[in-house]
Structure 1
Amino acid sequence: MAGYVEMYRLGKTYDTPNGPAIIVEDFNLNMAKGEYVCLLGHSGCGKSTVLTMVAGLNPITTGGVVVANHEIDGPGPDRGVVFQSPCLMPWMTALENVLLGVNQVYPHGTKSQRHDIAAYYLTLVGLGNSLHTRASSLSQGMQQRVGIARAFALKPNMLLLDEPFGMLDSLTRMELQEILLEILVRDKVTTLMITHDVDEALFMSDRVVMMTNGPRARVGRVFEMPFQRPRIRAEVLDHPDYYDLRGDMIEFLEEQDHKKLKADAEKLEAKKRAEAEAAIA
C-alpha cells in the first residue's frame, strides 16, 4: 500500500579494500501523513544510514525514497533534519541560527515576516527570552531546542531525527520529548526518529520499526503503539500493554545479540580452520 513516505527496496553498499560492504539491503517502509515512526536497533545496525539516505545526505545504492509524491535525489527543505548535535553557528544568536534556513526557504517574505517565523518557533520550544543569546552561551539542551526550532521553521513535509536527545540529561530529555510531541501533533508533521532507547520509542511513536543487525540490515519487526494522543507519560506507563510491548521489543534486540554472537563465533572458527589448513599446506 502506498504512503505519504515510501522507502522501497532501499539499500546502501560501500566499496572497501576487501570488496563491497552491504550495510542496508531491501529496506521497505511506508509511512502515512502525520505518522511518527521510531527506528530502533543496536548501534551500528544501519539506522542512521537509512535516515541519511532519506534526508538526501547519503547517496542511495539501490531502491528509492518518495516523499509527498516526489522521489528524492538529494537534500532539500521538504525534509528537516535534527541530529544529536545541533551544529549551530556559535557566534550567531539563537534567532540568527534559525533565520539561516528561514531566509533560504522564504526569500520573498519581508524581513519582519521571516523574523516572526523564527521567533515563533523559538518561543514554542521555550526560548522566547533567549532570541538574542549567542549559541555559544546556551546550554546543550537549549542548543538542541534551537535545532528543533530551526527544523520546524522550514515547514518541512517530513522531519528526520537522529537520536536528538541522546546527549541530554534525563530531565531535559523528557521535557524536550513532550515539547516536540506537542508541536508534531499540532502541525501533523510526518516524522522518522532514530533511537536506541526502548522507552523513548514507546512513548513517542505511532509505530516502532525494529532493524536487524548489519550487515544487510533490514526491517525485522514492526510494533503498533496503542496509546492515545496527546501522550501523557503517566497514562502511557499505566497502559496494560506497555510492559508487554517493552518486553517484546527487548526480546527482539536480545535475539539480534544472540545471532551476532553466533555469527562472530562462526567467523572465528572459519578463520582458525583456514589458518590451520594453511599451516599444514
Structure 2
Amino acid sequence: MSHYVEFYEIAKTFPTPAGPQVIVEDFNLNIAEGEFVSLIGHSGCGKSTILNMVSGLIPATSGGIIVAHREIDGPGPDRGMVFQSPCLLPWLTAHGNVLLAVERVFPDATRRERYDIAAHYLELVGLGEALDRSVKQLSQGMQQRVGIARAFATSPRMLLLDEPFGMLDSLTRMELQEVLMELLAHDRKTTLMVTHDVDEALFLSDRIVLMTTGPKARVGGIVAPTFPRPRVRQQVLDSPDYYAQRDVLIDFLESQDRSHRPQASSTSPSHTVAEVALNKSLTEA
C-alpha cells in the first residue's frame, strides 16, 4: 500500500504566559491508504494537536503534512472530522445537521439527492426514525451518531476522530465502535483516531502510535494489532495475543515520566479552535 498521509518533522508551538511552549517536535509518521491508525498517549501530549494539523484547522509551526500527494494548507472536504463532543448546531434537526454539510460539499446535486444522502447515512448509523428530531431531543449517543453520519455523508477520503466515544458510557461506546467498524467495512477510509482507551485502540486499529509525554512529544513506538478482519469483539478478547499487546501499550504509558506532562490547558485551545472552525465553515454563506 502506498502512503496516503505523510507527517515530516512536524513541530507545533503554542504561546503561553510563560513563553512559547513546544507541544510536538520531530513528529514523523506515514499512513497507508485505507489504514486505521490510532494515536495514544497521556493527556496534553499533543494527540489532538496532530489531528487538528492534519485536518488543516491549525497550521504546523514547522515541517510538512502531505495528504494524497498534496501538502495541506487548510481544511478540505477530503477530510471528515468527528469530535469528542458532537459539535452539532442545536437549532437544526438530526437530518438538518447532516444536510447542511452535504449541501456545502455537493452544491451541484439536486435538493432531493442531497436530502437522500443525508437520510441514507443517518439510517446507516441507526437513526432512520429520528431524522426530524431536534438535537435537544437526542441522547448523547444519538448525537454522536449524527456526527459520524455527517462525516461519512460528505464522502471524505480520510476520517479524523478525536476521542469520538470518550464522553459515552461503556455500553454506548462499544455499540458505536461496532457501528464505525461496519461503516468502514463497506467504505474503507483512511482513518486517524485519537483515544485514551487502550482496548478501543486494539479493537479498531491496524496500527497504534504511542506518543511520548510532552512537552516536545513525538512518536515513541508503534504497535500493530495482529487480529484479523473483520473483527468480532469476543474473538479479539479471546486471542492469545490480546493481553500481550495490551501489556505493551500499558507498559509504555506507565514508563513515561508523568511529572513532565504539561497542563491540559496548554493544548486545549487547539481543540476549541477546531470545533469553532468546523461550525463556522458549515454556517458561513
Contact 1:158–1:190 (Cα < 8 Å) also in 2: yes
- Which range moved further: 201-210 or 15-24? 15-24
TM-score when normalising by structure 1: 0.90
2:7 aligned partner, one-letter code: M
Return the alpha-carbon distance in structure 2 between the equivalents of residues 260 and 92 of structure 1. 42
Instruction: Using the TM superposition, give the Cα deviation of residue 59 of structure 1 relative to its aligned residue in structure 2, in angstroms.
Output: 1.4
Counterpart code for 1:209: V
What does the per-residue CA deviation read over 1:197-255, in whole Å, with 9 as the maximum and x for residues that have no partner?
10010001000000000000000010011111111000000111100000011000000
The number of residues matched between the two structures is: 261
State the secondary structure of the residue aligned to 1:247. helix
1:8 aligns with 2:13: no
Tell me the TM-score normalized by structure 2.
Answer: 0.89
- The one-character-per-residue Cα deviations of 1:152-202 (angstroms, maximum 9, x if unpaired) are 001111100000001111111000000001111210100000000100100
Is 2:2–2:33's contact at 8 Å kept on the other side of the alignment?
no
Equivalent residue, structure 1, for 2:116: 116
Residue 24 of structure 2 is matched in structure 1 by: 24
Q: Provide the rounded CA distance (Å) in 1 between the counterparts of 2:176 and 2:167.
A: 12
Q: In structure 1, give the amino acid aligned to 2:106.
A: Y
Q: Which amino acid aligns with 1:24?
A: V
In 2, the alpha carbon distance for the partners of 1:255 and 1:228 equals 29
Higher RCO (Cα < 8 Å, 6 or more apart): 2
* Residues in 2 aligned to 1:255 and 1:99: alpha-carbon distance in whole angstroms: 46
> Alpha-carbon deviation of 1:2?
6.0
Counterparts of 2:152 and 2:47, CA distance in 1: 22
Q: In percent, how many aligned pairs have the same letter?
A: 66
CA RMSD of aligned residues (A): 1.3
**Paired residues of 1:2 and 1:30 also in contact (CA < 8 A):** no
State the match for 1:103 in structure 2. Answer: 103
What secondary structure sits across from 1:113 in the alignment? helix
In structure 1, list runs of 5 or more residues that go unmatched: 265-281
Cα distance in 2 between the residues matched to 1:189 and 1:253: 28
Distance 1:97 1:17 in 2: 38
Q: In 2, are the aligned partners of 1:67 and 1:157 still within 8 Å (CA)? A: no
In the aligned structure 1, how far is the partner of 2:68 from the partner of 2:251?
35
1:76 matched residue in structure 2: 76
Q: Please state how far the C-alpha of 1:260 moved relative to its aligned partner.
A: 3.2
> Residues 21-40 of structure 1: CA distance to partner in whole angstroms, max 9, x if unpaired?
11000111111111000100
Structure 1 segments (4+ residues) deviating >4 Å: none
Cross-structure match for 2:275: none
State the AA in 2 paired with 1:77: P
Partner letter of residue 5 of structure 1?
V
CA distance in 2, matches of 1:75, 1:237: 38
Is 1:134 the equivalent of 2:134? yes
Counterparts of 1:105 and 1:165, CA distance in 2 = 25
1:107-155 Cα distance to aligned partner (Å, 9 max, x none): 0000111011101100000000001111111000000000000000011
Structure 2 runs not aligned, ≥5 long: 262-285
